[in-house]
Every structure is written in structure tokens, then in C-alpha cells.
Chains A and B, each alone.
Chain A
Amino acid sequence: MAGRKTVELEVYLDLLSQPCRAIHIFLNCNKIPHKVKTVAIRKGENRTPEYTKLNPMQKVPVMVDNDFVLTESDAILKYLATKYDVPGNWYPRHPERRARVDEYTAWHHTNTRPHAAKVFLMEVLLPHMTGQPADPLKVERALADLSDTLEKLENMFLKRQPFLCGDDISLADLLAMCELMQPLGGGRDILKDRPKLLSWKSRVQSALGDSFDKAHTVLYSLRDRSKAKL
């Protein structure tokens, strides 16, 4: 049939959101045809009646594949890795290697994600929303929790291997990296004094190519604005 091929896969993303960036990178890196619909949370675009109908929880990311609506980046990435013909390292088929990725992605929810997000929340989001300066005690506590997580990443997951779940990049590294980039929005480089994590980061960036920087453009602008204020 002649004519334009319709893109059936749509993703609703706000690139200031860490899990959204992970999906953006995954789709681009693997050249999966898709359409991005931007949702600017800071402008309340997630609270419109339309968006709420799509996702009553008013969160991003959301994936729509034909009529199939899916939330939760963890679930979305595993869906995409299974449905499309992507290299096997992302979400390995071998049960033990797959289990390692599942183990990290579970742990991620209560460790990497909340702890990195909280630093950004305390330093950037809350001050922006309230007009009050950041609470130094709360920032300190958030940084302590994050430091704890970074140590675990170094000593547990990255102890004897180049990537979080083995010899090659997987969904785990993608999700973790996007979370750990977030505090940069406030001008804070949390990895700068951690050589082990810095070398892991450069391996991850290398594997992702320019899809990494493309996804982080908005965050980099925010960082530049934050730095200009200091």
C-alpha cells in the first residue's frame, strides 16, 4: 500500500523527568519508530482533562501502542525491549542474566530513584515552587541518603563488572544513569568525586551515543540557568 506509514507508537514525555529520558534514549538508540508528545509538567499539562483521561494518575511517561495504554517506565522499557528487535543485552533472555536486570530495576525504585530525585526536589523544585530558598538541613539529609545509594552502586552492583548487571549495558544502567543526572539540573554533579562511577558513566554514555545528550538537552539548559544564578 503506497502512502505514509502511520506511526502507531506514541510516548508522552517530559524530558525533565528521569524515567521519560530513559524511554527517549531507548527508542532513539534502537531506532524504534515512534511519536513523542511532550507534556510539560511545570506548565500543568499533565493536569488537563484530556491527559487525565489518558492517565488518571497524571504522571509521565505514558506509552500508547495502538490502543494499548501503559504507564511505569520499568514496564514500558521491558515491553519495548520484548516487542522490538533490539540487541539482547538490554533485557537478556537468559534467565539468570534477566533476573539480574529484574533485581536491579526492583531495587532502583526504593533506592536510586527516590534518593536522587529528592536532592533535585529540595534544591530546585521546591524553591522554585515556593519561592523560598532551599532548606540546608533537608538538602544535607537528601545528599546523605544519596551518598549511601552511590556507595551501594559502587560496592554491590559495580563491584566486579563494568555495568550494573554484567558485561554489557542493560535497562538497569539506562534507568540508573537518567536518575543520577537529575541533580545536575541544580548545578550539582554528584559523581564528580567518585572515579568508579565516573568511569561507569562514560561507558554508559559511550554505549548510548548521541541519544544521551539529546535527551538531556533540557536538563543541561536548566543546569546552565542554575549555574548562572550562583
Chain B
Amino acid sequence: MALEIYLDLFSQPCRSVYIFAKKNNISFDFMKVSLLEGEQYGEEFGKINMIRKAPAIRDGDFCLAESIAIMKYLAEKYQTSDHWYPADLQKRARVNEYLSWQHMGIRMHGSKMFWLRLLIPKIMGVEVPKDKMDGALEDLEGSLKLIEEKFIGDKPFIAGDQISLADLVAIVEIMQPVGSGLDVFEGRPKLSAWRDRVQAEIGKELFDEAHRGILASQEMVKNMDSSKMQVFKPKILRFFL
């Protein structure tokens, strides 16, 4: 049975897994999951993944969630090039350090921006209050600054001279607010230069393919049927407003 990877490319961690698998020529069945339609709450998906999140993989009998765990597992199984997840103890620790920080450090802020700018106005029918938007923007900017100064610094990539899982996970998160129409690279030459290097390593075609959906978000959200998305209302009220 082929490796199955459950993905929704609107989700940042799904993009990192997709790019990683494609870049490393790992053959898999692309199992599409539509998160905004709530497919992760269905019975079928529950059998794959008790955590009910995407991305998820099914490798024979082995099921796994969490993009970082998935990519490390695939790196080991398919013996991908060392630079993705270096065997060297200190280099690996640097990658792990970023992967740990980023959950709350950037992922939360980038995701929030996408919800505040696009999804919430669509689902709730109202614009988000200015103070909430300003607060979220401030958090995002703080994170981007830390990424530039502490994690990248004056190195070409987060872990050093070569691209690793850290850069891959970083870039997909940073692209999320971009999908909502916010150009986070403007006025950030260091971050832009890093992005260019990462894109070059991944390959422009693969990078663009993975991001096609998210970059068309503004149009897509406009055309969505907001009645199908009402299931997210309680989550929105709890987390964002």
C-alpha cells in the first residue's frame, strides 16, 4: 500500500510536508482534506488520525499527525539529504530549537492574521475591531523581527549554510499572512533575501505550486459559502474576538 498523505494546501503545515515529500521524490497518494468544510471532523478521518488535524500520514498500519513529526519520520525513512535534518548534534539542535519556538512564535501570529483579515469577516459578516487587528499585527511584526535577527542572523539559512526543515516550516508560515493580502516582505530586505534563497533551494515551480491556493485566497474566500463555515463561529468567538 502506498504512503498516504492527508493534505489541505491552505494549511501551512500541510504545505511544508507537501514540499518536503515532493522535493525529495517521495512517492505518495495525495489525499485531499478540506479543512474549511470540516472534513477533519468526519468519521473516516477519525480513523486515520485521532488528533483530527491535517497534515496526517498513513504508512501501512502506521498513522501519524503533526507536520514536524511527519517530516522527521519521512527524512529518516527515505534517508533524505542530511541538511534537511542534520545528524550533527548541534546542527540538529538548532533546527529543533526553531521548530519548537515557531509553534507559538510565528505560527499563531501568521494564522491569526489570515483569520482576522479574511475568514472572520466572511464568516461573521463584520470587520474585526481595529485594536484587535493592530495588536495582531504588532505580534506578527515582533515575530518576523526575531526570525530575521535571532534565527537567521547573518547566516544564509536558519541552521547555517544549507536549507533545513526549519526554513521550510518558517517559509510556509510566513506565506500565510501574504495570502491574506499582507506583504510581510516589504521593507524587510533581509527576510526577502532569505525567502529568495529558500525558494531557490525548493525550486520556484514547486514553491509556486504549493502556494497557488493560499495566494488566491482573497478571491476564493469571497466566493465561499459562508453558511458552510458557521461551525467555526464558536472557535472564532473564543480565540479571536
| Binary per-residue interface labels of chain B (6-38) against chain A in the complex, 1 for a CB within 8 Å, 0 otherwise | 000000000000000000000000000000000
Are A57 and B76 in contact (CB-based, < 8 A)? no
| Binary per-residue interface labels of chain B (38-76) against chain A in the complex, 1 for a CB within 8 Å, 0 otherwise | 000000000000110000000000101111111011001
User: Which residues of A lie under 8 Å from residue B68 when comparing CB positions?
Assistant: 102, 106
A103 with B89: in contact, given A57-B146, A75-B96, A109-B104 (CB under 8 Å)? no
Cα-based distance from A156 to B53 in the complex (angstroms): 13
Dominant SS among interface residues on chain B: helix
Min Cβ gap B4→A in Å is 15
- Say whether A196 faces chain B, with CB atoms less than 8 Å apart: no
A106 with B93: in contact, given A57-B146, A156-B50, A156-B51 (CB under 8 Å)? no
Cα-based distance from A79 to B50 in the complex (angstroms): 29
Cα-based distance from A73 to B104 in the complex (angstroms): 14
User: Which residues of A lie under 8 Å from residue B67 when comparing CB positions?
Assistant: 106
A57 with B73: in contact, given A74-B96, A99-B64 (CB under 8 Å)? no
Contact of A107 among B66, B96, B104 (CB under 8 A): B66
- Say whether B103 faces chain A, with CB atoms less than 8 Å apart: yes
- Say whether B90 faces chain A, with CB atoms less than 8 Å apart: yes
Cα-based distance from A162 to B90 in the complex (angstroms): 32
Are A79 and B62 in contact (CB-based, < 8 A)? no
Cα-based distance from A71 to B105 in the complex (angstroms): 13
Dominant SS among interface residues on chain A: helix
- List A88-117 residues whose CB lies under 8 Å from chain B: 95-96, 98-100, 102-103, 105-107, 109-110, 114
A102 with B69: in contact, given A79-B89, A96-B62 (CB under 8 Å)? yes
User: Which residues of A lie under 8 Å from residue B76 when comparing CB positions?
Assistant: 95, 98
Min Cβ gap A188→B in Å is 21
Nearest B residue (CB) for A113? B104
User: Which residues of B lie under 8 Å from residue A98 when comparing CB positions?
Assistant: 72-73, 76
Min Cβ gap B24→A in Å is 16
A75 with B150: in contact, given A99-B64, A102-B68, A107-B66 (CB under 8 Å)? no
- Say whether A83 faces chain B, with CB atoms less than 8 Å apart: yes
Contact of B73 among A68, A95, A110 (CB under 8 A): A95
User: Which residues of A lie under 8 Å from residue B93 when comparing CB positions?
Assistant: 68, 70, 75-76, 78-79
- Say whether A209 faces chain B, with CB atoms less than 8 Å apart: no
User: Which residues of B lie under 8 Å from residue A76 when comparing CB positions?
Assistant: 93
Are B66 and A102 in contact (CB-based, < 8 A)? yes
- Say whether B130 faces chain A, with CB atoms less than 8 Å apart: no
Contact of B51 among A56, A57, A102, A107 (CB under 8 A): A107
- Say whether A210 faces chain B, with CB atoms less than 8 Å apart: no
Cα-based distance from A152 to B50 in the complex (angstroms): 9
Min Cβ gap B31→A in Å is 18
Min Cβ gap A105→B in Å is 8
Are A72 and B100 in contact (CB-based, < 8 A)? yes
| Binary per-residue interface labels of chain A (50-75) against chain B in the complex, 1 for a CB within 8 Å, 0 otherwise | 00000011000000000010111111
Min Cβ gap B57→A in Å is 9
Are A102 and B146 in contact (CB-based, < 8 A)? no
A103 with B146: in contact, given A78-B96, A79-B93, A95-B76 (CB under 8 Å)? no
Are A68 and B104 in contact (CB-based, < 8 A)? no
| Binary per-residue interface labels of chain B (86-119) against chain A in the complex, 1 for a CB within 8 Å, 0 otherwise | 0001101110110111011001100000000000
User: Which residues of B lie under 8 Å from residue A75 when comparing CB positions?
Assistant: 93, 96-97, 99-100
Contact of A99 among B69, B94, B100 (CB under 8 A): B69
9 nearest CB pairs, A to B: A109-B103, A102-B69, A75-B96, A74-B100, A72-B100, A106-B66, A103-B69, A75-B97, A99-B73
Pull 22 A–B residue pairs with CB atoms less than 8 Å apart, ordered by A. A56-B149, A68-B93, A70-B97, A74-B99, A75-B97, A78-B96, A96-B62, A98-B72, A98-B76, A99-B72, A100-B64, A102-B68, A103-B51, A106-B67, A106-B68, A106-B69, A106-B103, A109-B100, A109-B104, A110-B108, A141-B238, A155-B50
Chain B residues engaging chain A, CB cutoff 8 angstroms: 50-51, 62, 64-70, 72-73, 76-77, 89-90, 92-94, 96-97, 99-101, 103-104, 107-108, 146, 149-150, 238
Apart from A96-B73, A109-B104: 20 A-B pairs, beta carbons within 8 A: A71-B97, A71-B101, A72-B97, A72-B100, A72-B101, A75-B93, A75-B96, A79-B92, A79-B93, A95-B77, A99-B62, A99-B72, A103-B64, A103-B66, A103-B69, A105-B100, A106-B68, A106-B99, A110-B103, A141-B238
